[in-house]
Structure 1
Amino acid sequence: MKNPNGYGSVYKLTGKRRKPFIATKTANLEGGKQKRVVIGYYETRAEANMALAEYNRNPFDLNLNKTTFYQVYEKMIKQTNEVLSEKTLKAKKSLIKTFEPIYNIPIKEVKLLHLQEIINSLTCSYGTIYLKKSLCSQIFQFAMKMELVDKNYADLVDINKKNEKVVERIIFTEKEIEKLWELTELQEAEMVLVMIYTGMRIGELINLKIKDINIKERYCIGGSKTEAGKGRAIPISNKIMGIFEKYINLDRTYLFETPMKKKIQYNNWRELKFMTLMKIIGTKHTVHDCRHTFATMVSKTSASKTSIKKIIGHKSFETTEKVYIHSNIGDLRKVVDEL
């Protein structure tokens, strides 16, 4: 059935889209001109018709020259709150308060200068400022979809990195490492020792599979995060060979698993295992301190800079060196055996 004149329309866009149905309404612009403006995009025709009906019951300003920054935010949240968690909605409500000075300014008139001044006035952490900028960018992106603006000024805002929080890295002391060796009946203590003596990140370790370990030649294939780190040969020090041998022949996929033979989840492991372990040995460390400890220890050996970078995975090198590792794994083993 055709909608009445002035009611608006719903139709389906071409191509593969997550939300292919669009609801539109004709807005009256200054000077007597008219322009069809998007109310929103939807997964089904029924949702689009409901949105159009809701607009006609409770219309908001579709005038390109009058729709304010905060009105765009409200519309964006209204269209997406069905897929946002309560926690996420609460966070967005907190973040949007930063932009209160421009709430009532038509978004078409909000420029980079407005946004940069607001960001420059903030004294919170770099991470929090980044989240505020990200929300602003989402608002502008939504406004672009509604054809209210043609540029996302939020993406051009600079964040002063002086607010970036610097995490102090503290290496494990010899005494702390000795305590870890005394607690090797705990798998979490063994995992920490493996990270300390290999330089692996926790994500690399919990993803290390039995099939990628060569006990005979004392190395494993692992790595993540950077191109230099992926698929690299990681030598196994004689000091931790016993830990590898303990698990290598067990019926499991990963070197370290949960008691139920499931893959370890980092957040659970950190909160329930690592933090408790740190209390047991009477110290405070981040998980990444293990890798920092390795880098510090290996820098004191006779290893060349090239060997160190290859082990840690901080610099890319030729594919042949990654694949044909037998030519230099012996040199890398000598490095970790000096630890």
Structure 2
Amino acid sequence: MKKPNGYGSIKKLSGNRRRPFVFVVSIDGKQKPIEYFTTQVEAEIYQAEYNKKQQKILHGHQITFKELFYRWLPSHIDKYQPAKSTISNYKISFKYCLSLHEMPLKKIKYYHLQDIIDNLKKRGLSYSSCKKVRSLLSLMFKYGIMMEYCDKNYATLLNLGKNKQKRPHKPFTRQKINKLWSNLNTEGVDSILILIYTGMRVGELLNLTKDNIYLRQKYIKITKSKTKSGLRIIPIHEKILPLIISRMKQEPNKYLICEKNGKPYNYSTYCTIWTKIMKQINAKHTTHDCRHTCATLLDNAEANENAKRRILGHATGDVTDTVYTHKNLKQLRKAINKIY
């Protein structure tokens, strides 16, 4: 759909420029550059905000899906401060909705949105990807209703089908755990054992600094996690205490798990090390299997359910658990040391 007169346009300039995209508006019959940008997405967001401030939703013009996205995104970022990975997921999900981009909001019906989901499933995209698209649609249309650009949010009615895991998570067997212990000289093996005996997510481990380790009290403090419940303390199991002490002695590293030069691992680099170790012990596991292993070991040891949830960073099941039961470090340590 063509934008209305006076809405401005985005152009890509020739040559090797640091900011090749420019937003221009017509003033007295001449095009005047307003701002320059590194990417077209940044320019689109600015264009939407510029016209919003100038109140340039012109007579007869209907807000399109694309315009809604570039109006909603900066507002959402400003209000909720989502992580960079979350913003990246929003942009990817938006691209999946290409057939809607130029459609006026008020003409978008339920079947248009369901077609997006159905086509993604036909292309073989995962349940998780479809769920992210639905989440984006819901957030956008809620914003659209609030701003009176539209009056319905069909996203809440979308059917994603059943979540069929391509590869269900499975815990490490005792044999594989023993193999890890017998290969401690291999780079990264200690980190896998730390994951198994703490139940940490791999992202939590890679973000762990030495300031988060309390050796005297023998616990780890998680300060960065994907969920609010993930912010917690984890007692250090007796078996992995020597591994953590050894990592703490490595200088001048800020992070507990990092490269020899002190640089922290990103997820991709760590997965390379992980894959090599899995080949060495002849196993097929994902990093998330460590959490399942910890949960399984706690179950097998008949650890207190409340303590188990707090160690793993799961949300509590009911109000009684949250309000009336307070597990101190001593009780959490008793639970974790039940596993061997």
Distance in 2 of aligned mates of 1:93 and 1:310 = 36
Aligned partner of 1:333 in structure 2 is 333
Distance in 2 of aligned mates of 1:302 and 1:141 = 45
Q: Which amino acid aligns with 1:330?
A: K
- Correspondences of 1:1-339 after superposition (within 5 Å): 8=6, 23=25, 43=35, 64=60, 95-96=96-97, 99=99, 108-116=106-114, 119=117, 123-124=121-122, 125-130=126-131, 133=134, 150-151=150-151, 153=153, 155-163=155-163, 165=165, 167-222=167-222, 224-230=225-231, 232-251=232-251, 252-270=253-271, 272-315=272-315, 328-339=328-339
Distance 1:238 1:105, change over 3 A: closer
Cα deviations across residues 115-135 of structure 1 (Å, max 9, x unaligned)? Answer: 335545764432343465578
Cα deviations across residues 167-209 of structure 1 (Å, max 9, x unaligned)? Answer: 5111101111111112111231100001111111111112222
Q: Point out where structure 2 has 5 or more consecutive residues left out of the alignment.
A: 9-22, 28-32, 37-42, 48-57, 71-87
Cα deviations across residues 190-248 of structure 1 (Å, max 9, x unaligned)? Answer: 00001111111111112222222222332221252332321x22111111111012122
Residue 203 of structure 1 contacts residue 266 of structure 1 at CA under 8 Å; is this kept in 2?
yes
Distance 1:319 1:183, change over 3 A: farther
Aligned partner of 2:76 in structure 1 is none
Distance in 1 of aligned mates of 2:211 and 2:34 = 46
TM-score (norm 1): 0.62
Q: Secondary structure at the match of 1:299?
A: helix
TM-score (norm 2): 0.62
Identity %: 30
Distance 1:211 1:137, change over 3 A: closer
Q: Which amino acid aligns with 1:129?
A: C
Q: Secondary structure at the match of 2:230?
A: coil
Q: Secondary structure at the match of 1:258?
A: coil
Distance in 1 of aligned mates of 2:144 and 2:113 = 15
Residue 206 of structure 1 contacts residue 256 of structure 1 at CA under 8 Å; is this kept in 2?
yes
**Count of matched residue pairs:** 272
Instruction: Find the structure with the greater CA-based Rg.
Output: 1
Residue 130 of structure 1 contacts residue 159 of structure 1 at CA under 8 Å; is this kept in 2?
no
